[in-house]
Amino acid sequence: MALNKLGSWWLCWLVAAAFTISGCSNKSIQEHVPSFTSVFPYESREVGKYSVDDHTKAPLQWVVQAWVKTDAATLYAKSISLEGIVGNVTWNKEGVPSVGAQHIPGDVRTIPFAWMNAKEILLITEPVNVHFYTLLKEESSAPTPMDHYLGVVTTESNGKGSLITWRVYFDTKGWSPMASIMSSQLKRLLEKGIQSWIDEYGGVLIPVEVKN
């Protein structure tokens, strides 16, 4: 019997959740975080010379932030390629698969989730500090019950390491309980991936509580 959309969504994200939990790291090299004032404060909707409001009016839902004992260029490259966060990501540039190329606005990455996938398009890329991306809901086979989605990632040097701040904006209309579950799983995937960088270089995840 063919799965309906609701059943497909639940099975897809239950499988993704299982992989997330089973793959959690048990070790890390924790470091003291140097005091800092970010040039990209997550509370602001202005990100350097870019504005979140030019791409979405949705509220900030959550933030993942970490200090990692490596340079900003390394974190930028790892975050834009989703290295350590999800595997088997493929890229298309103007409809042509690309590997190892510099990623620019308009590039689309396909992210596998169980037997489905989500497609995201880069909106802004400013190596090595900023990139914006959004979901391509109509082109994704995985149901994405979040509207006006925007991801914003900033990386900046700080002391003997670098600060990465990953913020996500979206509206929850219609399927809000599902959006909440999906959002939680995505956040855990990011935390798990960034933790793998901390395991490699040293550093620490920084708890951030978003108040809407």
- What digits encode the pLDDT tens for the residues 77-131? 999 999 999 888 888 876 565 555 578 999 999 988 777 888 999 999 999 999 9
Confidence of residue 198 (pLDDT cuts 50, 70, 90): very high
Q: What percentage of the chain has pLDDT greater than the value 90? A: 55
Interior angle at CA 157, CA 33 and CA 75, nearest 5: 95
Q: What is the pLDDT of residue 7?
A: 45
pLDDT greater at residue 34 or residue 156: 156
**Phi/psi at 131 (nearest 5 deg)?**
-145, 145
Closest CA to 157 of 52, 40, 63: 40
Give me the sign of the Cα torsion angle 117, 123, 126, 131. Answer: negative
| Residue for token pair 């509580």 | 209
Among 25-34, 53-62, 63-72, 187-196, which stretch is predicted with the lowest mean pLDDT? Answer: 25-34
> Is pLDDT at 15 greater than 50 in this prediction?
no
Q: What is the pLDDT of residue 31?
A: 64
Mean pLDDT (whole number) for 6-11: 44
Confidence of residue 155 (pLDDT cuts 50, 70, 90): very high
**Cβ-count burial of 184 within 10 angstroms (0-12 exposed, 13-18 middle, 19+ buried)?**
middle
Domains of the chain in sequence order = 27-79+127-206 (3.30.530)
Both tokens assigned to 171: 């509206």
58 alpha-carbon distance from chain centroid: 16
